Amino acid sequence: MVGSLPDIVAPDLEVLIVAINPSVRSAEAGYSFASKGNPFWRLLHESGLTPVLLKPEDGARLPEFGVGLISGVKRATRSAAELTRAEQALGAKRVARLAARLRPRYLACSV
């Protein structure tokens, strides 16, 4: 079974980005949004949330810019459609707990 990815969080975040779950490719690489051609890192930079264009392997730097990144469901899949309703419900509770603890200024969902 492919492993999961760690949450990238810190106190006093401006934005906490919530992904549904990691892709198998990202879990294998050990970095979020690692699939070739995934626009996440480029769009994050173009949005102004990061002053530099980060690569997937630079993800641990996100808190330097007040940004955190978590997955609602930790299990990696080829498609989010593979997640069960029970996993999704537990993932929603996980996100609510983390958001309540971290209290970011904004919560953003990445799909």
Structure confidence at residue 4 as a pLDDT band (50, 70, 90) = confident
- Let me know if residue 34 belongs to a domain: yes
Sign of the CA dihedral 83, 89, 92, 93? negative
CATH of the domain at 106: 3.40.470.10
Structural domain boundaries, residue 22? 15-110
- Whether 16 has a pLDDT exceeding 80, the answer reads yes
Are 32 and 110 in contact by the 8 Å Cβ rule? The answer is: no
3-class secondary-structure state, position 30: coil
- Let me know if residue 10 belongs to a domain: no
**If we measure between CA atoms, which residue out of 33, 8, 10, 15 comes closest to residue 23?**
33
- Let me know if residue 77 belongs to a domain: yes
Report pLDDT digits (tens) over 60-87.
999 999 999 999 999 999 999 999 999 9
pTM of the model: 0.92
- Let me know if residue 50 belongs to a domain: yes
- Let me know if residue 103 belongs to a domain: yes
- Let me know if residue 9 belongs to a domain: no
Matching residue, tokens 């906490």 = 16
What residues have CB less than 8 Å from 103, skipping those under 6 apart? none
Total domains in the chain come to 1
3-class secondary-structure state, position 4: coil
- Let me know if residue 35 belongs to a domain: yes
Are 95 and 72 in contact by the 8 Å Cβ rule? The answer is: yes
Q: Give pLDDT, residue 72.
A: 93
- Let me know if residue 67 belongs to a domain: yes
